[in-house]
Chains A and B, each alone.
Chain A
Amino acid sequence: MSDPVETRPAGPDWAKIGDALWRGLVRQKELSILLVTVAVAIYFISSNGRFASSENYHTIAQYFTPWAIVAAGEVMLLICGEIDLSAGFVFTLAPFILTTFADNGVPLFLALVLALLVCAVIGTVNGLVTTRFNIPSFIVTLGMYFLIEGVSLLMSNGAPVSAPSSGWVVEVFGHQRWSELIWVVVMVVIMQIVLTATRFGIYTQAVGGNPVAAAESGIRTKAVKVVNFAICSTLAGFGGILDGMRTGSFDPTNGGATTMFLAVAAAVIGGTALLGGSGTVVGALIGAVLLGIVFDGFNIQGTSANAFDVVLGIAILVAMLLNVYLTVLRKRVSR
């Protein structure tokens, strides 16, 4: 890199700053989606007085935290070329596993850990079946989707049960105001670091980007995928437990397909390529926040909830088109 030496000491060179910003926007998908999110937030703040309140921000957080934590796992899977359709129902199931352990006298914290372990096992099964038998994960996790949905309905008898209501575990894992959001942000940060700063993260990107090359260099591609399936299920289960603790009720209608699809939508809007190879966890978080803001904004304005789906649909299509277009642009910028 050799920039020409600046000869005349002028004030801020707006053309240069504009150019840098433009290059940044093209290079970093997250930056463009962040700008859209800020713009949408400003729109709702200025158009409705009730939007800008701590209470409402908390409401927005309640919307997007489940999507964001499930998305954190889905991003890892999408990057390595797989998907987990069952994650939404693992979100549903995890609190009931915790309850089962707790009801049998296991201390609450241990019950939580054990529940997460069971979730990890579910993900491992997804991963092993996908990689050992070479079945598309779309099909494997579709099967797991119905299986886990059925198990959650059986375990709950189809009705909500009250969540544990006292003790430090309850307070720390969801009940304290903002604790769910803090956990989700922590998880997103950890996963982003895993993705970009560790060998495992690079392997994940390599396995999705060029499986043959990854295998040829000696990367154990199947193991990488299985671990990512386990991570995705564990994060989804953790999200379900946090959400249940927050509301004080474990409900078999929580999570499910809606949460899973919104998580995938958040990932895609946040710049993750559906065919693998690239994406970021932070981008998916921003995508989830954007969806949360729109959902909440529409509620406040009294817009029909059905309009949300229209906006969501358009947002996904625009995000995909932008992904394709940006790839072309990025090539030009780098030449």
Chain B
Amino acid sequence: MTAVIQAEHIGKRFGAVRALRDINLRVDKGEILGLIGDNGAGKSTLIKILTGYHRPDGGRLLFDGQEVTLRSVVHARSLGIETVYQDLALVNDLPVYLNLHLNKEPVYRPLPFLRRKDMRRRAREALDEIGIDIPSVTAPVGQLSGGQRQAIAVARSVSSDARLLLLDEPLAAMGAKEGMLILRLLARLKERGDLAIILIAHNYSQVVDVCDRVNLLQHGEITFDRATKDTSVAELLELVHAEYRMGGNT
């Protein structure tokens, strides 16, 4: 089985700082990979390389088995690499259906007028398909809860021809109930079978619940790679915190 994305010996320096050294990582179709690690371990840098924001200094990226150089975020997106950022990229004053179609609005060609009815229908279908329960697609996004907004941000990323979905701490600052909404959504997306997902999270019990495999990033290297069924929250916690205990005095 070829991985949707595979990183081989990826390195990245910022001046004197080696943010990433020799990263090897792969995600398969229908797989959710949990990426954990302490702040400053290099998670954001790695994500930014996979989305085409940063260029790696060394190593290579394979997309569907083919070597690629991601020239820009737009280029990555054209390949089907979508990102859901922490800062929700939604416009609060606009209704749900316009947010889902932002910059992809259909019009009555050759006239420049928006096909609002079509957009409402498609938005409803897209949300139903991935099982997101939003009372009304015409409600402004600003009136929805944090979990619903995050769900819409995810829905927007996957409504196109997404192949790889990157989620940067989608569960941060979210209550348990809201978090469940997103976890259930990720489980539904996994069922689609053709999508690879990388989830960055700090809540290890959620990682163990929803991810198939977990990678631990420490000081720019992946130091641990295991199926979640073969590990536990306690082990992950122990791994992350072990290095701070060894010195003995903190």
Chain A: residues with CB nearer than 8 A to chain B? 1, 197-200, 202-203, 205-206, 208-210, 212-214, 216-219, 273, 277-278, 330-331, 334-335
Contacts and interface: CB of A to CB of B under 8 A. Distances in A.
B85 interface: yes
A277 B112 contact: no
Contacts of B88: 213
Interface string B194-208: 000000000000000
Contact of A216 (B89, B93, B98, B139): B89
Interface string B204-228: 0000000000000000000000000
A23 to B, nearest CB: 13
Contacts of B113: 197-198
A1 B94 contact: no
Q: State which size class the interface on B falls in.
A: 20 to 34
Interface stretch (B26-34, B59-67, B99-107, B238-246): B99-107
B139 A334 contact: yes
Contacts, number: 62
A167 to B, nearest CB: 34
Interface string B155-189: 00000000000000000000000000000000000
A93 B132 CA distance: 55
B143 A210 contact: no
A206 B91 contact: yes
B74 interface: yes
26 contacts: A198-B112, A198-B113, A198-B114, A199-B114, A202-B94, A202-B105, A205-B91, A205-B93, A205-B94, A206-B91, A209-B91, A209-B92, A209-B93, A210-B89, A210-B92, A213-B88, A213-B90, A213-B102, A214-B102, A216-B85, A216-B89, A217-B89, A218-B74, A277-B92, A330-B143, A334-B136
Contacts of A202: 94, 98, 102, 105, 114
B87 interface: yes
A1 B74 contact: no
A210 B136 contact: no
Given A1-B136, A213-B91, 17 more contacts: A198-B113, A199-B107, A200-B112, A203-B103, A205-B91, A205-B93, A205-B94, A206-B91, A206-B102, A210-B92, A212-B89, A214-B102, A217-B102, A277-B93, A334-B136, A334-B139, A334-B143
A278 B141 CA distance: 13
Contacts of A331: 143
- B88, B94, B98: which has the most chain A beta carbons within 10 Å? B94
Interface of B: 74, 85, 87-94, 98, 102-103, 105, 107, 112-114, 136, 139, 143
Contacts of A273: 93
A251 B136 CA distance: 53
Contacts of A335: 143
A304 B88 CA distance: 52
Contact of A197 (B92, B103, B114, B139): B114
A214 B98 CA distance: 12
Contacts of A208: 93
A277 B89 CA distance: 14
Nearest to B102: A217
A209 B99 CA distance: 11
A278 B143 CA distance: 14
A219 B102 contact: yes
B136 to A, nearest CB: 7
A202 B106 CA distance: 12
B124 to A, nearest CB: 11
Contacts of A278: 93
A197 B139 CA distance: 17
A3 B245 CA distance: 60
Contacts of B92: 209-210, 277
A219 B114 contact: no
A209 B143 CA distance: 14
B53 to A, nearest CB: 11
Contacts of B91: 205-206, 209-210, 213-214, 277
A217 B91 CA distance: 11
4 smallest beta-carbon distances between A and B, as pairs: A213-B89, A209-B91, A277-B93, A217-B103
A206 B136 CA distance: 20
A199 B105 contact: yes
